[in-house]
Chain A
Amino acid sequence: MSLPLADILKLRTMVYIAGEPIAFFWPMRNFIHHNPLHGLEGLAFGDAVERGKTLFGARGFLKRHDYQRYLAEGTIDDAELCRGIRNFLASHDLPPGINWERAFHCLLTRVADPIALPVEIATPACILAALRGEPIADIVVDQRTLTERMQAQLGGDRPLCEVIDSLYGTKISETLDDLLIKTCLDFFDEGQSTMAMPGREHGFFRAWSRISRHNLKMFLRGLQIDRVLQGIETPEAMIARAMRIQGVPEEYWVGNFTRELARLHGWAGFIRWRQNARNYYWAQQYPADLVDFLAVREALVLALLHEEHRPGMPATVPELATMLEQRPHEVFLRLQSHSGTMLPEMAHRIHDTILRGKTPDIARMFDRYSTLLQVDEAHRSAAALKIWGDAADITPALQSLEPAAFGSLLTALRKFEAQEGMIWLRAMEGHAIDRFARGIDTAAPKQRAKRPFAQALFCIDTRSERIRRHFEAIGDYQTFGIAGFFGVPISLLELGKGHEAHLCPAIVTPRNLVLEMHVTAPMDETVAGVLAEALHELKNSILTPFATVEAIGLLFGFDLIGKTMAPVAYNRWRGKLFSDPPPTRLLLDKLSREQADSILRAVQRELIVKAIQHERGLPTERISDEIVRDVREVALRRLEPCETLAVALGLNLSGLEAFVERLRRAYRINRQFSRIQLERLGRIGFSLSEQAHFVGQALRSIGLTEGFSRFVLLVGHASVSDNNPYESALDCGACGGASGSHNARVLAQMANKVDVRRRLREQGIDIPEDVVFLGALHNTVTDDITLTDPELIPPAHLLYLDRLHKGLVAASRLCAQERIATLLPDRAKRPGTGAARRIALRNAVDWSQVRPEWGLSRNTYFVIGRRHLTQKLELDGRAFLHSYDWRIDPKRRLLESIITGPLVVGQWINMEHYFSAVDNETYGSGSKVYHNVAGRFGVMTGNLSDLRTGLPAQTVLRDGRPYHDPLRLITVIEAPVAHARAAVEGVVTVRRLVQNGWIRLLIVDSENGLLSLYIEGGEWRDQRLDTATLQPITTGERITA
């Protein structure tokens, strides 16, 4: 069966739209923090959270008792809480005579659990009677209302298999997920498995359908996949067939697809990313998209529905609708029974009645059950209301309400409890904003008498805040914050690696390639290195472990004991067995045409020499330059094969032609590939004007255009840990989840060039001759800062190097002391600097350490402004600090560039932490303890699960409670109000984020002495900075935009 093209396109479009709410999932080798609700950013934050709850079954806010704990700790603004309650009450008509603001405040702050319990049958009158202690009158259940409610619950875009599961207690959806996950693991494997799925190059659906027709396990299960796939040639045809067989109306297909995808949103997100990653090797080799994924899923749905079908069970959506119309009592009882919320005392009798299937018995059972349920619901609801009533001292008042008024109160309570998360969130943010506003220094910075001893540009990462603070305190140092890629997006071909790495934010595609090259001659591998490689190869084979476990098992045991009992000492010793990495340089400059040709020629000649040695067995001395040149010319079809050449290679003419053909195919010495290689060589490096542009832009963006000190450090950062699939999440997000040291070296090398400085001088940035830019790396687990190319320091500067080293070491130790204290148990004493350092060093090498550092946990603020604004404020590693001076940015270009790039990345990081903290099981990835690496690109929980997106519990939780305070990113821009607002208005994505409430925005206008806070709904709240007693900004006067 194949569909017409129009149908194919329509279906593909439907799948595309259906996949929009599913966030991308990048391979974890380069972990990219992302907002799990990125696809819903077009909605207001509260609405998106609600939609996320429907799609993913996830909570978007903490539980009330968590917020109550924050309130008790003083990190929630009670005034803002009251304001939220007042705003709610203003739009709801509640009975007079009760101080509702006080009562609702009491509800939030003194009642631990929600009180507006969901009810199926009980009416407000029943609940009121129960509250009064009166007998509850029997009510006749309105069949029509009940049927309509169940139709809404079971119909629409809800997948049929889910409905069957909820009615019959089958596990079709679970089995379906398991089968699909196994298929995904087989198809998408990227070298973890020793046996690959055959036929992957034909695409996901085709490869799977070929294998599944002969799958014995499925056959033994009774899954008639063969029959399902009969006549199906394309994935689109499979989806269309499945939907038509199930009788799903076409208007629900998109919603249906979304719900199917949301069940395995990790895998769906990965496939969505993969189908869009054009340069991804595995996607090119083994193509797959969401249409394939859904086609496989729908084929399995049909097979499973057929296998589980029993007499009386609806097999299609129309049959389900008929069942609802004709047997509503049975449907209700079934739903109750399999939802896990049925009254336990009736469970067995109801099961028996349903099994017998006699309609009159079912009707009688329904009547009995609904009566009992009504009473139970009424009493439970009344008990919950009484808890509130007693706490707020309004129980008598509640009991005296009229039924109609009581009903409207219950409705209002339900709405309030549905919205209370936003009220708490705003109150928590209010406190954080006020704390910030009180601590900033808006006075004009003092002019420096002389230039600082050293300046350091750190990544805006929150972990830099601590070390910057200590570095500034320890001596005459000045620090700046800049995105970790230093504004230079590069594609790096690292020494010894065969692929390029994009070292820039995920939303940017680098155009320039940088090569890392040996300084010295290539060194031979050490014995230990060869042995390590051999052991790695052995582990990856299927059979060798069986044969060699007795022989070399002890070696692994030795390693196991060493790593476990004394990780620091063992790793230090082990490091001595391997040679130090060789010094390298980065090839930054653009190649001329001649240089590119020369490199290509050299590489091809090298390959030809190797080919002749390997294929013909000729010794080196018999392979002259002339022979090599002629062979190359023949391969590139610039010369005809000749006898002389053939004889020189010990071949006849046909042998020579065969050899040349092999060079063209296997060794790729041909015209087409030469053209491709020349194009690639053309990507290498930066032209002089590009270099000057990047350096100038970087310096201007942070406001450093004069007053350069002798040393300007460009400090990238990276994390080092062992046995940690999330290591990349701790690296620099601005560098694509990799180390920032390469970008630092690149910018340093550019900025040190005389020609670049000359061009910058023409642009008004005069960098004195004695200024040297140095790359450095901040290890965020140990807080060590290491200079990356110390041998490039000019001799005249060596005198000052010792002071710089001491400063870096001191800052590092103090930072580690402050930071390690947060990793220790609450009541532990703050360690000394030596002890802290030892703990930090151990964390970096301990393979049992599930929390080597907190990473970006507790991130709260994104500050765009001059350093002096926040210099006196201890931000506890909670702020992204991007240096910016609005005075040198009259056209707002730099500000727009900052908010377009780094701010958006910061928002992704913030949202990932937010959702992982509020619901770690669904939005996060659960505990690391149960993680298993899947396919080398993700992790699963246990041996089979959805790909776990989000952050693990150990990153955002502590002792089961949130460690990361789930707040939306509070963005602070230091600039005149009009300047900042115009910049935000000018960037569509950011404007949408602000208006929809995904980030909070605070403008600090030091020039005009104003603080301006954006309130959801398009309003701003302003306050003067120069008031004698600073009122909380959150209670400032409201000025409409």
Chain B
Amino acid sequence: MLVLAALPAAIFLPLFPLSALFVLLFCRVADLRVRAVLVLLWPQIGLMLATLSAPSQALRVWALLTALFYAWRALSVQELDRWIAFIAVSAWSLLWMGWDTTHDLASLRLLALGFSLSLLTTMVVGSLLQRRVGVAYAGLNHGLPEVAPRLAGFLVVSVLCAVATPPFPSFFAIMGILHRSGLGMATGICTVWLIWSWTALRLLEGFITNSWKLPRRFADLDRMTSFALVLGLFVLCAMALGLSNASLAGQ
């Protein structure tokens, strides 16, 4: 595939340095709905723009390096929004690995959707935290369970959801990609996955451990919101199972 032809796709299935565009846009946009649309549609646009022929090995390697770079970069990020953006870029870059001629694009779209839906969960919980504190910033919101145990619980689950923990959609998405990769690429993908977990724990450490120090306190999630979130998570897991079947069936 010619590099120039891949350029538009490289913006939306982000490859470094064009990935900076998504990060910039995501961090600038404040509205949750706009962000949700961005996260759901961005990789889909990339897949629409991509041609049917499989990417070259060089492109795959570049994609893997992009994924590694953003995963590594996410280790030191403390702002939740920025973290989501970096994980999104890292995840979508991996879609290049899952793209080959034996599989149709539809199954790849499902994998992309899996990543997006998982990130959406984190965005929703993050916005709930932001509305209460002003910003979701690890290290500033230490001891969140002390003041808002429900919110803290959902934050943990949603961050784990974003980093491909079973039974969430991103887990099946990454499984799908691994299934389509050779040994070398699979090792790289697993390394990316490992770094994601590491970033998740570092991020959560800044929210969950130690004591609450900020002077302002706020109300925890009410029962209705908590119930809705739980329901949402269940629906997500059900969708994940469905997505996994569909993506595997598309082989």
Which residues of A pack against B, CB within 8 Å? 117, 169, 338-345, 347-348, 351, 380
Contact = CB atoms under 8 A, between A and B. Distances in A.
A343 B214 CA distance: 9
Contact of B79 (A117, A340, A341, A347): A347
A517 B250 CA distance: 84
A125 B3 CA distance: 64
B214 A340 contact: yes
Contacts of B145: none
Nearest to B79: A348
B216 A380 contact: yes
B134 interface: yes
Given A347-B135, A347-B137, A348-B137, A341 B82 contact: no
Nearest to A380: B215
B77 to A, nearest CB: 9
Nearest to B82: A348
Nearest to B137: A347
B133 interface: yes
A342 to B, nearest CB: 6
B76 to A, nearest CB: 10
Given A347-B79, A347-B137, A348-B137, 17 more contacts: A169-B139, A340-B139, A340-B142, A340-B210, A340-B213, A341-B214, A343-B134, A344-B133, A344-B135, A344-B141, A345-B135, A347-B135, A347-B140, A348-B79, A348-B82, A348-B135, A351-B78
A169 B76 CA distance: 12
Interface in B129-155: 133-135, 137, 139-142
Contacts of A380: 215-216
B137 A344 contact: yes
Interface in B68-103: 78-79, 82
6 contacts: A343-B134, A344-B134, A347-B139, A348-B78, A348-B82, A380-B215
A340 B79 CA distance: 14
B134 A339 contact: no
Nearest to A351: B78
Contact of B213 (A339, A343, A347, A348): A339
Contacts of A339: 213
A713 to B, nearest CB: 51
A175 B107 CA distance: 47
Contacts of A347: 78-79, 135, 137, 139-140
Contacts of B141: 344
A756 to B, nearest CB: 60
Contacts, number: 39
A341 B142 CA distance: 10
B86 to A, nearest CB: 13
B100 to A, nearest CB: 39
A339 B139 CA distance: 9
B216 A340 contact: no
A344 B215 contact: no
Contacts of B137: 344, 347-348
Interface string B191-219: 00000000000000000001001111000
A398 B67 CA distance: 59
A368 to B, nearest CB: 16
A348 B77 CA distance: 10
B134 A341 contact: no
A61 to B, nearest CB: 18
A340 B140 contact: yes
A914 B14 CA distance: 60
A345 B134 contact: yes
Nearest to A117: B215
Interface in B167-181: none
A380 B217 CA distance: 11
A282 B215 CA distance: 48
Contacts of A345: 134-135
Contacts of B79: 347-348
Nearest to A921: B211
Nearest to B216: A380
A341 B215 contact: yes
Contacts of B142: 340
A342 B210 CA distance: 16
A342 B215 contact: no
Nearest 5 A-B pairs (CB), nearest first?
A344-B135, A340-B213, A344-B134, A347-B137, A345-B134
Contacts of B140: 340-342, 344, 347
Nearest to B77: A348
A122 B78 CA distance: 28
Nearest to A384: B215
Nearest to A377: B215
Contacts of B82: 348
B32 to A, nearest CB: 17
Contacts of B133: 344
B55 to A, nearest CB: 34
The interface centre, meaning the residue of A117, A341, A344, A345 with most chain B CB atoms within 10 A of its CB, is A344
Contacts of B135: 344-345, 347-348
A338 B137 CA distance: 12
B202 to A, nearest CB: 12
A391 to B, nearest CB: 18
A340 B206 CA distance: 10
Pick from A117, A343, A347 the residue with the most CB of B within 10 Å.
A347
A344 B218 CA distance: 14
Nearest to A340: B213
A340 B82 CA distance: 19
A344 B79 CA distance: 10
Contacts of B214: 340-341, 344
A340 B213 CA distance: 6
A77 B134 CA distance: 43
B26 to A, nearest CB: 14
Contacts of A338: 139
A117 B141 CA distance: 19
A946 to B, nearest CB: 16
Contacts of A340: 139-140, 142, 210, 213-214
Residue from A338, A340, A345 having most chain B Cβ neighbours under 10 A: A340
Nearest to B139: A340
Contacts of A348: 78-79, 82, 135, 137
A912 B101 CA distance: 73
- Most B Cβ at <10 Å: residue of A338, A339, A343, A348: A348
Interface string B97-140: 00000000000000000000000000000000000011101011
Contacts of A342: 140
A380 B213 CA distance: 15
Nearest to B135: A344
B12 to A, nearest CB: 26
B79 to A, nearest CB: 5
B216 to A, nearest CB: 7
A920 to B, nearest CB: 14
A380 B133 CA distance: 14
A340 B140 CA distance: 5
Contacts of A351: 78
B74 to A, nearest CB: 14
A345 B30 CA distance: 13
Contacts of B216: 380
A874 B239 CA distance: 65
A338 B213 CA distance: 11
A945 to B, nearest CB: 14
B138 to A, nearest CB: 10
B125 to A, nearest CB: 16
B6 to A, nearest CB: 32
A520 B142 CA distance: 65
Contacts of B213: 339-341
A923 B119 CA distance: 43
A343 B137 CA distance: 10
A45 to B, nearest CB: 26
Contacts of B78: 347-348, 351
A551 B194 CA distance: 38
A117 B217 CA distance: 14
A356 to B, nearest CB: 15
A341 B210 CA distance: 13
A380 B137 CA distance: 21
